[in-house]
Amino acid sequence: MGTFSRRKAGFERRHWLFAIAVLACVGVWFANVVLDEVRPGSDWAIGYGAAALALLAVAAAYGLRRRAMKVASRRGGSSSAWLAVHVYGGGLFLILVLMHSGFRLPSGWVTWWLWILSWWVVLGGLGGLFLQRWIPRLLTSGLGVEAHYDRIPELVAGVRERADKLAAQCSPAVQEFYLRSVAPELQEPRRRALYYLDVTGGIQARLRDFTHLVQFLSHEEAESLRDLSRLLRTKLELDAHYTLQLPLRWWLYLHLPASLLLVVFVALHLVSVFLY
Amino acid sequence: MSEAEFGKTQLKQLEQYKDRWSSLGAQTGLIGTSDQLSVEQLREFEIFQDYDDKILEKIRQDVSVATWQEGAVLFEEGTYVDLAFFVVEGEVEVFLQGVAGVAAPGAGARPIFDSSRTVVSLPAPSKPAGEEKPTAARGTDIAAATAVPKTERSRPSGTITFLATMDFDLPRGVATRLGPGEFFGEIGALSGWPQSVTARTATPCRLLQIRTPALRVLKRKSSALTERLDKLYRQRSLSAQLKNTPLFSTCSDIFLEALKEVVDLVSCEGGEVIVEEGDAADAFYLVRSGFVKLLQRFGEGELVVSYLSKGMTLGESELLIDGLDSWQVTAVSVENAELVRLPKEMFGQLVRNQPEIEAQLWRSAADRIREAGYSRRNIAYSEFTQVALDQGLVQGNSILAIDLNSCTRCDDCVKACADTHEGRPRFVREGNKYENLLIAKSCYQCRDPVCLVGCPTGAIHRSGAGDEVLIDEEICIGCATCYRNCPYDAIVMHETGIAWPEDAVPTGLRGKDQKLASKCDLCADTGHGPACVSNCPQGCAYRVGTLEEFEKLLVRRV
Residues B347-368 have pLDDT tens digits of: 888 888 888 888 888 888 888 8
* Chain A touched by B525 (CB under 8 Å): no
Number of Cα atoms under 13 Å in the Cβ half of residue B540: 25
Work out the angle at residue B105's Cα, subtended by the Cα atoms of residues B479 and B184, and round it to the nearest 5 degrees.
Answer: 75
User: Is residue B129 predicted with pLDDT exceeding 50?
Assistant: no
Asked whether residue A195 is domain-assigned, the answer is yes
Asked whether residue B55 is domain-assigned, the answer is yes
Residues B307 and B389: beta-carbon distance below 8 Å: yes
Q: How many domains does chain B have?
A: 3
Q: A240 with A266, same domain?
A: no
Q: B481 with B355, same domain?
A: no
**ipTM over 0.90 threshold:** no
Q: What's the pLDDT band for B227 if we cut at 50, 70, 90? A: confident
Distance separating alpha carbons of residues A177 and B243, to the nearest angstrom: 69
Q: B376 with B400, same domain?
A: no
Q: A64 with A163, same domain?
A: no
Asked whether residue B353 is domain-assigned, the answer is yes
Distance separating alpha carbons of residues A20 and B44, to the nearest angstrom: 86
Distance separating alpha carbons of residues A47 and B55, to the nearest angstrom: 88
Residues A12 and A19: beta-carbon distance below 8 Å: no
Tell which A residues from 97 to 136 touch B, by Cβ distance under 8 Å: 132-133, 135-136
Asked whether residue B61 is domain-assigned, the answer is yes
What pLDDT digit, counting tens, does each position of A214-224 carry?
A: 888 888 888 88
Q: Sign of the C-alpha dihedral, residues B328, B332, B337, B341?
A: positive
> Mind spelling out the 3-state secondary structure of A164-189?
HHHHHCCCHHHHHHHHHHHHHHHCCC
Size of chain B, expressed as the number of residues it contains: 558
Pick the last residue of a domain from B372, B390, B408: B390
Share of chain A above pLDDT 70, in %: 94
Q: Quick one: pLDDT at residue B483?
A: 93
Asked whether residue B322 is domain-assigned, the answer is yes
Q: A48 with A118, same domain?
A: yes
Q: B349 with B471, same domain?
A: no
Q: A14 with A131, same domain?
A: yes
B65 SS3 class: strand
Q: Quick one: pLDDT at residue B327?
A: 93
Residue B294: beta bridge partners? Answer: B306, B331
Q: B199 with B248, same domain?
A: no
Share of chain B above pLDDT 70, in %: 79
Q: A9 with A134, same domain?
A: yes
Residues A195 and A239: beta-carbon distance below 8 Å: yes
What pLDDT digit, counting tens, does each position of B31-56 carry?
A: 888 888 888 888 888 888 888 888 88
Q: Quick one: pLDDT at residue B390?
A: 87
**CB-CB neighbors (< 8 A) of B537 in chain A:** 66, 79-80, 82-83
Containing H/E element for B104? none
Asked whether residue A249 is domain-assigned, the answer is no
Q: Quick one: pLDDT at residue B411?
A: 92
Q: B426 with B349, same domain?
A: no
**CB-CB neighbors (< 8 A) of A150 in chain B:** none
Q: Quick one: pLDDT at residue B163?
A: 31
Q: A259 with A130, same domain?
A: yes
Among candidates A66, A137, A245 on the partner chain, residue whose Cβ is nearest the Cβ of B405? A137
Q: A127 with A187, same domain?
A: no
Work out the angle at residue B9's Cα, subtended by the Cα atoms of residues B3 and B11, and round it to the nearest 5 degrees.
Answer: 45
Q: C-alpha distances in angstroms, A109 versus A116, A251, A269, A272, B8? A: 10, 27, 10, 12, 83
Asked whether residue A67 is domain-assigned, the answer is yes
Asked whether residue A173 is domain-assigned, the answer is yes
User: Is residue B113 predicted with pLDDT exceeding 50?
Assistant: no
| B247 contact partners, CB below 8 Å, separation of at least 6 | B154, B286, B311, B313, B357, B360, B361
Q: Do B412 and A79 touch (CB under 8 A)?
A: yes
- The amino acid occupying position B281 is A
Ranking A226-240, A254-268, B135-149, B460-474 by mean pLDDT, the lowest is B135-149
Q: Quick one: pLDDT at residue B456?
A: 75
| B58 contact partners, CB below 8 Å, separation of at least 6 | B217
User: Is residue A191 predicted with pLDDT exceeding 70?
Assistant: yes
* Domain membership of residue B493 as a residue range: 394-553
Strands B292-298 and B513-518: unpaired
Q: C-alpha distances in angstroms, B494 versus B473, B515, B548? A: 11, 5, 35
Q: Quick one: pLDDT at residue B171?
A: 56
User: Is residue B391 predicted with pLDDT exceeding 50?
Assistant: yes
User: Is residue A266 predicted with pLDDT exceeding 90?
Assistant: yes
Q: A136 with A24, same domain?
A: yes
Q: C-alpha distances in angstroms, B54 versus A258, B58, B217? A: 75, 6, 11
Q: B186 with B296, same domain?
A: no
* Chain A touched by B412 (CB under 8 Å): yes
Pick the last residue of a domain from B375, B390, B405: B390
Query: CATH code at B96?
Result: 2.60.120.10
Q: B271 with B382, same domain?
A: yes
Asked whether residue A93 is domain-assigned, the answer is yes
Tell which A residues from 68 to 97 touch B, by Cβ distance under 8 Å: 69-70, 72-75, 77-80, 82-83
User: Is residue B414 predicted with pLDDT exceeding 60?
Assistant: yes
Q: A231 with A261, same domain?
A: no
Q: A77 with A7, same domain?
A: yes
Q: Whole-number mean pLDDT of chain B?
A: 77
Query: CATH code at B460?
Result: 3.30.70.20
Q: How many domains does chain A have?
A: 2
* Chain B touched by A200 (CB under 8 Å): no
Q: B403 with B297, same domain?
A: no
Asked whether residue B323 is domain-assigned, the answer is yes
Q: Quick one: pLDDT at residue B157?
A: 33
* Chain B touched by A139 (CB under 8 Å): yes
Work out the angle at residue B556's Cα, subtended by the Cα atoms of residues B555 and B558, and round it to the nearest 5 degrees.
Answer: 140
- The amino acid occupying position A79 is S
What pLDDT digit, counting tens, does each position of B250-298 carry?
A: 778 888 888 888 888 888 888 899 999 999 999 999 988 888 999 988 8
Among candidates B527, B536, B553 on the partner chain, residue whose Cβ is nearest the Cβ of A79? B536
* Chain A touched by B476 (CB under 8 Å): no
Residues B328 and B277: beta-carbon distance below 8 Å: yes
Q: What is the mean pLDDT of residues B134-141?
A: 31
Q: B169 with B70, same domain?
A: yes
Q: Do B537 and A79 touch (CB under 8 A)?
A: yes
Q: Sign of the C-alpha dihedral, residues B477, B479, B483, B486?
A: negative
**CB-CB neighbors (< 8 A) of A3 in chain B:** 542
> Mind spelling out the 3-state secondary structure of A8-43?
HHHHHHHHHHHHHHHHHHHHHHHHHHHHCCCCCCCH
Q: Quick one: pLDDT at residue A193?
A: 92
User: Is residue B156 predicted with pLDDT exceeding 80?
Assistant: no
DSSP-assigned letter for residue B35: P
Share of chain A above pLDDT 90, in %: 50
Asked whether residue A250 is domain-assigned, the answer is no
* Domain membership of residue A172 as a residue range: 149-244
Q: A109 with A67, same domain?
A: yes
Distance separating alpha carbons of residues B16 and A27, to the nearest angstrom: 79
Asked whether residue A114 is domain-assigned, the answer is yes
Name, of A86-95, B114-123, B129-138, the range with top average pLDDT. A86-95
Q: Which of A228, A225, A203 is nearest to A213 (CA)?
A: A225
Distance separating alpha carbons of residues A111 and A106, to the nearest angstrom: 6
Alpha helices in A76-108 (DSSP H): 79-100
Q: B433 with B350, same domain?
A: no
Q: How many CB pairs under 8 A join A and B?
A: 83
**CB-CB neighbors (< 8 A) of A73 in chain B:** 416, 419-420, 523, 526, 528, 531, 534-535
Distance from CA of B120 to the nearest CA of A (A): 26
Q: C-alpha distances in angstroms, B516 versus B22, B65, B470, B483? A: 17, 29, 13, 10
B443 SS3 class: coil
Q: B310 with B409, same domain?
A: no
Q: B371 with B419, same domain?
A: no
Q: A8 with A123, same domain?
A: yes
